[in-house]
Amino acid sequence: MNSFFIHATQKLMEYSIPAAAFLITVLAGYGIRKLLFSRLEAWSKNTKTQLDDIIIAAVRGPFIIWFVMLGLYFGLEMTSLPKNAVIIIDKALVVLGIFSVTLVLSNISSKFIASYSAKVESALPVTSLTQNISRIIIFAVGILIILNNLGISITPILATLGVGGLAVALALQDTLSNLFSGFHITVARQIKIGDYIRLDSGEEGYITDINWRTTNIRMLPNNVVLVPNEKLTKVIVTNYCLPDKEMSISINLGVHYNSDLKKVEQVTCEVAKEVMREVAGGVPGFVPVVRYSGFGDSSVDFSVTLRVKEFVDQYLVKHEFIKRLHERYAKECIVIPYPVRAINYEQEKTA
């Protein structure tokens, strides 16, 4: 009985020291995490850059996990487990550590691109393609480091990938074509997320994303058109956000032949300026232009040029301009004639 008690006490002491080392390490990590990140967050609030906020947010979650792994490492070093088992567990912890660091760097790069590309004109625009490319590169490097730490030679793997890359490229021609076309669209910056475009096939709307296969276009009825990237590089595209989002719109009108054209021009310009000032989407500083274009079948034709802040603003501006102009013409006794067709009965009788 005494021998059993002594043996149990020895076993308890044998495992209690590693367990205590593990708990102390984890509790220390928890305390360091709480103290360190509270000070880092207070410091980051006083900085202008967002890089520190991105790094703190990405590291905060895995930080305690790293201390758990460190506690396991210390505990294993104090146990009497077989040496081979300790080596295997140590390698597993190293692999998990490298993978967690890779994941943190991937999140930082993705958020960094999203945060800074909108501010820096020369940076890549934020798309799922650019974010995924950065993640793939970081994960590829992380996997190679893990393989190297496991004692696996990466040279044959790279050689195999080089030989197999040709076969993969031939099998995935369409997919790779869309991938590189999407990358070309992103780098060229002639089409960006948020731009309003129209294809020569008639589809039009806002670019919402450019991914590895398709470009997503949200139409005004809130439907999404998925256009293969390769096709988008081959069709004629009208981008209503280049070189500026502001654009001119032309409205065609006509007045009666008996109208005082100087008065018509004056009244029309007054209404147009009022619309530019008061209607959301109009450009207040723009001076509207009235130009007579010809003698129609039943009216003197002319056009009015207005300016809007972006493509979709034209609908409200046109609506308000036509409504207010019609009301003003009625007050000023300016007639917008109905289409007229005259029939010569004498000529018909003679025929």
29-81 pLDDT per residue, tens: 777 777 777 777 777 777 777 766 777 777 777 777 777 777 777 666 666 66
Q: Does residue 243 have a cis bond before it (omega within 30 degrees)?
A: yes
Q: Residue 299: which of 350, 336, 330 has the closest Cα?
A: 336
95 is written with which tokens? 């692999």
86 is written with which tokens? 């300790």
Percent of the chain with pLDDT over 90: 26
**Cβ atoms of residues 95 and 146 within 8 Å:** yes
- The burial class, CB within 10 Å (0-12 / 13-18 / 19+), for 123 is middle
**Cβ atoms of residues 129 and 186 within 8 Å:** yes
- Residue 152, pLDDT > 70, answer no
- Predicted local distance difference test score (pLDDT) of residue 42: 75
* pLDDT interval class at 185 (50, 70, 90): confident
98 is written with which tokens? 């490298």
Query: Is the pTM of the predicted complex or chain greater than 0.85?
Result: no
- Residue 249, pLDDT > 70, answer yes
**Cβ atoms of residues 138 and 102 within 8 Å:** yes
- Predicted local distance difference test score (pLDDT) of residue 4: 47
- Residue 201, pLDDT > 90, answer no
Q: Residue 303: which of 269, 337, 333, 331 has the closest Cα?
A: 269
Judged by DSSP in three states, 153 sits in coil
- The residue-averaged pLDDT of 176-182 equals 77
- Residue 141, pLDDT > 70, answer yes
Lowest mean per-residue pLDDT among 9-13, 182-186, 195-199, 256-260 = 9-13
Q: What is the tens place of the pLDDT at every residue in 106-130?
A: 777 777 766 666 555 445 555 666 6
Quote the mean pLDDT of the chain.
77
- The residue-averaged pLDDT of 189-218 equals 88
Residue 266 and residue 254: Cα distance in Å, rounded?
Answer: 15
- The residue-averaged pLDDT of 146-158 equals 66
- Residue 290, pLDDT > 80, answer yes
- Predicted local distance difference test score (pLDDT) of residue 173: 63
Cα–Cα distances (Å) from 122 to 112, 189, 245, in that order, read: 14, 10, 19
- Predicted local distance difference test score (pLDDT) of residue 272: 94
Q: What is the tens place of the pLDDT at every residue in 323-347?
A: 999 999 999 999 988 876 666 666 6
- Report which of residues 33 and 242 the model is more confident about: 242
- The burial class, CB within 10 Å (0-12 / 13-18 / 19+), for 280 is exposed
Domains, the chain, ranges and CATH?
A: 2-151 (no CATH), 182-239 (2.30.30.60), 247-331 (3.30.70.100)
- Predicted local distance difference test score (pLDDT) of residue 282: 92
